[in-house]
Amino acid sequence: MDVLSDVLAAMRAGRPYAGRSICRAPWGVRFPAGDAACCHIVLQGGCSLVPADGTPPVTLGVGDILFTGPRHAHTLADRPGSPAVEFQPDRGSGYSVVELDIPGPGAITEMLCVCYTFDLARPHPLLRTLPPMIHLPARIGDHRALRATVDMLGNELHRPGSGTDAILPALIDMLLLYVLRAWLDENADTATDGWATALTDPVIATALHHIHREPENQWTVEELATRAGVSRATFAKRFTTVVGQPPLTYLTWWRMITAARLLDRTDDPIHAIAQRCGYSSEYAFSKAFKREYGLPPGRYRRQQQPV
């Protein structure tokens, strides 16, 4: 089980959306502090990102990739202070957003924008430790797979054809994963805690791998420590420091996240979901689920179903 892919799949809410924009100076687009993470890629020209929190603007050039995390309001503009419109995509239109075209007398900036909505009601610790902004400047030879994904996504949006509705979500997933992988790789040598460490530390990554692959297993701290190749005390302290939760607390929490996803996205009977999440009795599972979500599994499932 790839832990990063697993986390993002569990936290996804709704359909991602993407589009190309052509803006002529003076122009600006405001992105609200919502539940979406965004990737902005400059294809032609240049612009400035102006954070809403007052931190200094960031200049973006051709080939630059910028990730902004959920709840991070910001404005893209040809320069700080230009008049801006609100970004309001039609989420009912499918994966591709209607092309954004801002007329003007000045220089042209062409961009690719992707938005990926997360469930922030119970965010995974990974989402809480993401920086509000990841800037990946264009450098020859850097992140080749990421650059190839950008090219494929841009071509698909520019010339949609048969299968586009199936291709776009896969490319959007790839783009986000490659951006996060680049961030993890660049922080692996300097990070001391958080998920930049959790996914690259052999001890913690091994434990997470086993928890995510087999949440139904009756894991103990000692067994996870043995699998990770360290003592129980060392493992427990290291896991808690890096992940922010003790091992078994994280295990229980992940089981509930997994259960909620299965209740929402499958028709599996509740007793089968209980077993897949490590509970031998449906009663014990329902009690644990209600403690986490405030209502029993059956009622939770009914509330998730469209009216």
Structure-token match 């087999």, residue found: 214
Looking at the fold, whether 160 and 207 belong to one and the same domain comes out as no
Query: What mean pLDDT is predicted for residues 118-145?
Result: 80
How confident is the model over 219-264, as pLDDT tens digits?
999 999 999 999 999 999 999 998 889 999 999 999 999 999 899 8
Least confidently predicted of 84-93, 121-130, 135-144, 164-173: 84-93
* Percentage above 90 pLDDT, the chain: 48
Domain that holds residue 261: 201-304
Rounded to two decimals, the pTM is 0.80
Looking at the fold, whether 169 and 275 belong to one and the same domain comes out as no
Query: What mean pLDDT is predicted for residues 191-202?
Result: 76
Looking at the fold, whether 128 and 236 belong to one and the same domain comes out as no
Q: Which of 28-32, 122-126, 180-184 has the highest mean pLDDT?
A: 28-32
pLDDT for residue 251: 96
Looking at the fold, whether 182 and 91 belong to one and the same domain comes out as yes
CATH number of residue 98's parent domain = 2.60.120.280
Under the banding of pLDDT at 50, 70 and 90, the label for residue 290 is very high
Is residue 107 pLDDT above 90, yes or no?
yes
User: Chain-wide mean pLDDT for the chain?
Assistant: 87
pLDDT for residue 276: 95
Q: Which of 166-170, 175-179, 278-282 has the highest mean pLDDT?
A: 278-282
CA distance 6 to 3: 5
Looking at the fold, whether 218 and 155 belong to one and the same domain comes out as no
Looking at the fold, whether 32 and 8 belong to one and the same domain comes out as yes
Looking at the fold, whether 111 and 179 belong to one and the same domain comes out as yes
Looking at the fold, whether 34 and 95 belong to one and the same domain comes out as yes
Least confidently predicted of 177-181, 229-233, 276-280: 177-181
CA distance 112 to 107: 17
| DSSP element (H, E) containing 112 | strand 108-117
**Is 194 a domain residue?**
no
Is residue 266 pLDDT above 70, yes or no?
yes
Last residue of a domain, one of 187, 211, 230: 187
Looking at the fold, whether 45 and 128 belong to one and the same domain comes out as yes
When divided into structural domains, the chain yields a total of: 2
Looking at the fold, whether 112 and 212 belong to one and the same domain comes out as no
Looking at the fold, whether 21 and 165 belong to one and the same domain comes out as yes
CATH number of residue 254's parent domain = 1.10.10.60
Looking at the fold, whether 220 and 89 belong to one and the same domain comes out as no
Last residue of a domain, one of 129, 152, 187: 187
Query: What mean pLDDT is predicted for residues 168-197?
Result: 79
CA distance 10 to 147: 26
Is residue 49 pLDDT above 60, yes or no?
yes
Helices assigned H by DSSP within 139-265: 144-158, 164-187, 195-198, 202-213, 221-228, 232-243, 247-265
pLDDT for residue 277: 96
pLDDT for residue 279: 96
